[in-house]
Structures are given as C-alpha cells and as structure tokens.
Amino acid sequence: MKLVILDRDGVINFDSAQFIKSPAEWKPIPGSLEAIARLNQAGYRVVVATNQSGVGRGLFDMDTLNTIHERMHKALFAAGGRVDAIFYCPHPADSACDCRKPKPGMFKRIAETFNVNLKGVPAVGDSLRDLQSCAQMGCQPILVRTGKGEKTRAEGNLPEGTLEFADLASVVDWLLERREP
C-alpha cells in the first residue's frame, strides 16, 4: 500500500496561533488540496495525523472539530481528492497521553488501523514534534516551510534524514517523480 501521512494545520491549511476553532477559520494553503488529489490519483492513501489540543482546552468541542473536518473533506472532494482517515489527539499539551505528538501514539494507531509497517512512509509536517513522532516509527520525516516550517527549520535539531520542501505541492511533485516509473 502506498501511504502518505500529513499534519493538518500548517501543511494542508493555514495555521493560527489562536488555533483553528471554527469551520470559517479553516482555509486551505494554495495548492494543498490539488496536491492531495494528485496523490489519490497516483494510488496513495492519504491520512491526517493532527494535534487538536483546542478540544482539551475547551476552545471548541468535538462537534466543531468534526464540522471543521467536514469542511476539509468537502473542499478536498471539490478538488478531486480525499483523505482516507483523520487521526487526532484532543488532549492539552500537559496531558500524559501517548497520542499527542511528539509521542508516537497516533502513528502506532495508523500502523495498526492500516495493518502496515510505517518504515519509509512519507510523513509531512511543519513542526519539530510532527517530525519527531513520525521518525520514532521509522517514517520518512518531511518538513514543509509553510505554517511553522520556516521557524522549525531555523531552530534546527531536525531528525536525521529529514527532507525539506517549500510546501505540500512540492512534496507531491517529488514523491510522484521519484516513485512513478
């Protein structure tokens, strides 16, 4: 199975220091939805792994998170794409859960759900914690410079072998050129 794992905020849609708390605040980064559609057309399954501590902090509830994701699904559908699953951690940053990135819990759930070894699976994020959690499971960490990506790059300490791209569309260009015969 060809699989790609994406962070949401800062990779697919614009991020906000005040969190994405409503469907109206969810705005796709130009080219991201089309990039996901291209992955789908090339036979990739696309999965989202996202920290959503705003739920645990009481900034929005699960119904709102589901409505935000529904907006994303509809926008993807309109662009000819889809995500196969969304894994999220609703817990606040001080939680002892295993699912909040940089811990690998979400990636373990993805591996179990899809019955796949994640070694070498491309995982795209804009923050150090995205890259750390995927690297623990053997994924190929990929940093995009959208969202918090420029700041993450400047701070350094990236996992060994991290690849860097301008945005999700550039990642998909590389994946499709590299992996298609």
Does the pLDDT of residue 52 top 60, yes or no? Answer: yes
Active-site annotation, residues: 7, 9
| Distance (Å, whole) CA 119 – CA 171 | 18
The set of residues, in sequence order, having a beta carbon less than 8 Å from that of 18 and lying 6+ positions away, is: none
Confidence of residue 181 (pLDDT cuts 50, 70, 90): very low
pLDDT in tens, 149-168: 999 999 999 999 999 999 99
Does the pLDDT of residue 60 top 70, yes or no? Answer: yes
DSSP alpha helix (H) spans, the chain: 32-41, 53-56, 62-78, 105-114, 128-136, 149-155, 168-179
Question: Which structural domain, as residue segments, surrounds residue 54?
Answer: 2-179
The set of residues, in sequence order, having a beta carbon less than 8 Å from that of 9 and lying 6+ positions away, is: 15, 16, 20, 50, 126, 147
| Distance (Å, whole) CA 137 – CA 109 | 11
* Sheet strand arrangement including 140-144: 85-89, 44-51, 2-6, 122-125, 140-144, 163-165
Of the candidates 65, 38, 37, 48, the one whose C-alpha atom is nearest the C-alpha of residue 5 is: 48
pLDDT in tens, 95-153: 889 999 999 999 999 999 999 999 999 999 999 999 999 999 999 999 999 999 999 99
Q: How many domains does the chain have?
A: 1
- Cα 39 versus chain centre, distance: 14
pLDDT at residue 180 in the model:
47
> What's 33's domain CATH number?
3.40.50.1000
Cα four-point dihedral sign 18, 135, 89, 114: positive
Of the candidates 4, 13, 90, 100, the one whose C-alpha atom is nearest the C-alpha of residue 53 is: 90
What tokens were used for 179? 């992996």
